[in-house]
Amino acid sequence: MFRRLHFSIHRRFKFMVLTLLFLTFVLHFALDVFSFSTTVSCSCPHENHPRAKTHMVKKSPLARALQDFSGSNGSSVDGSQMLKALEGSPKIFNSSWKKYQGSKLESLFQHPLYNSLMPTIKEEDKLFRVNAEERFTLRGSDSEEWVSAGVEFVLPTGDTAADTYPTWLKFHIGINRYELYPRQDPLIPILLKEMSTQRILNSVQKPGGTQLKLLMTFPNYGQALFKPMKQERDQETPPDFFYFSDFERHNSEIAAFHLDRILDFRRIPPVVGRLINITRDVRDLTTDKKLFKTFYISPANNVCFYGECSYYCSTEHALCGKPDLLEGSVAAFLPDTALAKRKSWRSPWRRSYHKSKKADWETNPNYCETVKVTPPYDEGTRLLDLIDLSLLDFFMGNQDRHHYETFEKFGNETFLLHLDNGRGFGRHSQDDLSILAPLQQCCRIKKSTLQRLELLDTEPYRLSDVMRESLSMDPLTPILSEPHLLALDRRLGIILNVVKECFKKEGPHQVAFEDLAMLYKGRKL
């Protein structure tokens, strides 16, 4: 009897369990059918449908604008539409692009804003005209910088194909009125690699200047400028230092090249980091007797040298290896001035370089009105190009922009060379608004520059992210500390706010100039 009772209870328990499982299955099935009918079967004729806000995935105007623009032919009209969408919903990328994957840098350079058509390059727009029937001897150019180790080098024209030119020479020949190098130039990565790895034939001190720099010569007759490391990357410039007494930083030169390229200016010669052996690559090779005499072994048994210059060339500021390894920046040389003359221009917003006196632009808020009517700023794009340069300097925190250069051959109708960027990236915790004086006082900016800045302020192309990715390709990575990278985003926001204030004061059409359209038509600004 006990066994029969146990069997009956066991059967009832099984029946209850099976019943519960069946009810659970029926309930889930009903819920799935109901959910499917509300999301798929619903016709949802308009946005005000009761379920539209819950079940429809509505794309923001900004997301649609970016998608449409990415598939466009790169016209500036689509770019302006995208910028209007940016103003309407500035925070959309914080959520929708949070899980962005892939190369942001590659995506940036594929964007239509970075693929706009350039004007047709005519013969008069080229820095050099290579005549296939003439042979050019570097020694005959009276340029010592084009002669390596006393060997006469003949430009391989005529019988020799252009493909056999050394990379540095191809870079020089490619310079034109509008750009130092093309956007997608395959030569730049090759040139950077060569400068960072090629055997050094000779190292001498560059004459002049306030701090020590070396001229290095390579086996392919190319030359580069070496700026040695003077301080650590996370070491900020003391707040009491004047801009003219600050150190020149090798990582600033490297970062400036990458930033200039990301902003699509392309006005800084290629720069790359390199680790050299002071003994093998400098002391044992140099023909500079004055430089050789400054070498010594420190108490820590490291190889040191200090050279001769106006400042920071003494045993107190010696450059020491570990024990003889020293990192620095290597910058490609521009064509020698004997072959391509350059003109130096004093910047209208040059600082006084005095401990107590201020420059005119610092005390006169209407200073730009005088600049606008003063040659060469009264025509062409010269003033707008100078404002581009001030934006680059503001990103870097560089106050030491007293002069700039242009290629004399192209007159006033050409770009500015962005040289000597060693005094940038000294302070990440301070934003010097005085560097933006040209933009603030003139309230002018190229529309193409503004569009790229707006693009770099969105999550898929965040400036700090693309800079971090670009700098990671350098042999000495990391080049900038994280606070410096994040400061770029903060400073970008400041620049855009200044432009917005100018819009309110003078109107968008008076502030943002259609520089590309004017470039194609040859019109004056």
H or E stretch at 39: none
Q: Distance from first CA to last CA of the chain, Å, rounded?
A: 109
Q: How many Cβ atoms sit within 10 Å of the Cβ of residue 281?
A: 23
Tally of CA atoms within 13 A in the half-sphere of 49 that contains its CB: 14
Does 145 appear as a known binding residue? Answer: no
Cis amide prior to 239 (ω within 30 degrees): no
Does 211 appear as a known binding residue? Answer: yes
Among residues 400, 457, 465, 515, the one annotated as catalytic is: 400
C-alpha 256/C-alpha 75 separation (Å) is 28
Q: How many Cβ atoms sit within 10 Å of the Cβ of residue 465?
A: 19
C-alpha 377/C-alpha 363 separation (Å) is 21
What SS3 state is found at 107? Answer: helix
418 backbone dihedrals φ, ψ, rounded to 5°? -95, 80
CB 268 within 8 A of CB 257: yes
Q: How many Cβ atoms sit within 10 Å of the Cβ of residue 238?
A: 9
For helices 250-262 and 463-471, give the axis angle rounded to 10 degrees.
Answer: 120
Does 331 appear as a known binding residue? Answer: yes
Give the type of residue at 190: I
C-alpha 324/C-alpha 334 separation (Å) is 29
CB 457 within 8 A of CB 496: yes
Burial class (CB in 10 A: 0-12, 13-18, 19+), 272: buried
494 backbone dihedrals φ, ψ, rounded to 5°? -65, -45
Does 227 appear as a known binding residue? Answer: yes
CA-based torsion, 273, 275, 281, 287: positive or negative? positive
C-alpha 345/C-alpha 406 separation (Å) is 8
Does 405 appear as a known binding residue? Answer: yes
Cis amide prior to 45 (ω within 30 degrees): no
Does 83 appear as a known binding residue? Answer: no
Q: How many Cβ atoms sit within 10 Å of the Cβ of residue 296?
A: 13
DSSP secondary structure code for residue 333 in this structure: P
Give the ranges where 113-234 is alpha helix by DSSP (H): 167-173, 187-197
DSSP secondary structure code for residue 181 in this structure: S
H or E stretch at 224: strand 223-228
C-alpha 457/C-alpha 14 separation (Å) is 64
Quick check: is 474 catalytic? no
Closest residue by Cα to residue 424 from 396, 464, 458: 396
> Which residues define the annotated binding site for ATP?
211, 227, 248, 331-334, 405, 420
Residues at the binding site for Mn(2+) are 248, 420
Catalytic residues: 400
Q: Which residues are annotated as a binding site?
A: 211, 227, 248, 331-334, 405, 420
